[in-house]
Amino acid sequence: MRNLLLTLRFHGAAFHGSAIQPNAPTVQGVLQPALERLAGEPLALKCCSRTDAGVHARVFCVSVRTACRIPCERMIPALNAALPEAMAVTACREAPEDFHARYSCKGKRYVYRIHNSAVRDPFLADRAWRISRPLNEERLNREASAFLGRHDFSSFCAAGGGVEDHVREMFTSRVYREGELVLFEIAGDGFLYHMVRIMVGTLLAVHDGKCPSVREVLAARDRSRAGSTAPAHGLCLEDVLY
């Protein structure tokens, strides 16, 4: 048996999240049958994380144990020929026997994109959240620094996450501007249900004077004290750290 690590990217607008659902196209629901047809056997895919409907990924990792002997370099074009345009396998390599795409992960890096413009851009319609009012990225960046370090992120976890331990450590947390795009980059050892999207909503609420400081929201450990949940289509998983 081989243990393979597949790296892929996908445009989230085409999928109802990553996990298999009975009546909707999902990342795993599309990838698994293509991989099983190629391998000629049923497979159990292990995904690095669960993503919500509409969330994108430039890097998304899947591990799978298989008896298939097709070389990695041949599996990439064979899979891509069977996958939809919204998804592509970018790498395939042999992994150690005990490697697991989720449990071996040391962290993830996300970027949330805001299109800060009074005029919509059709090319960003499903890849960034458009906010027309002017945003002060320096003020947002100052608030974002409060996320750095190890904290209890209970205020930033949506109901239904099913996780009791809300303590996570953030390695990177910054807001910066690239032209009309205001970007929130966050990297940490783990993320709670809707956590990044709630972070974005809270940063904007603090910016607009509708919410206390991020530090106060963190200290409260109360979801009701945080801002709203930002739309999914602005969020992209940029990297998975092993």
Catalytic residues: 52
> Is the distance from CB of 241 to CB of 109 less than 8 angstroms?
yes
Q: What is the 3-state secondary structure (H, E, C) of the chain?
A: CEEEEEEEEECHHHCCCCCCECCECCHHHHHHHHHHHHHCCCCCCEECCCCCCCCEEEEEEEEEEECCCCCHHHHHHHHHHHCCCCEEEEEEEECCCCCCCCCCCCEEEEEEEEEECCCCCHHHCCCCEEECCCCCHHHHHHHHHHHCEEEECHHHCCCCCCCCCCEEEEEEEEEEEECCEEEEEEEECCCCCCHHHHHHHHHHHHHCCCCCCHHHHHHHCCHHHCCCCCCHHHEEEEEEEC
> Is the distance from CB of 150 to CB of 107 less than 8 angstroms?
no
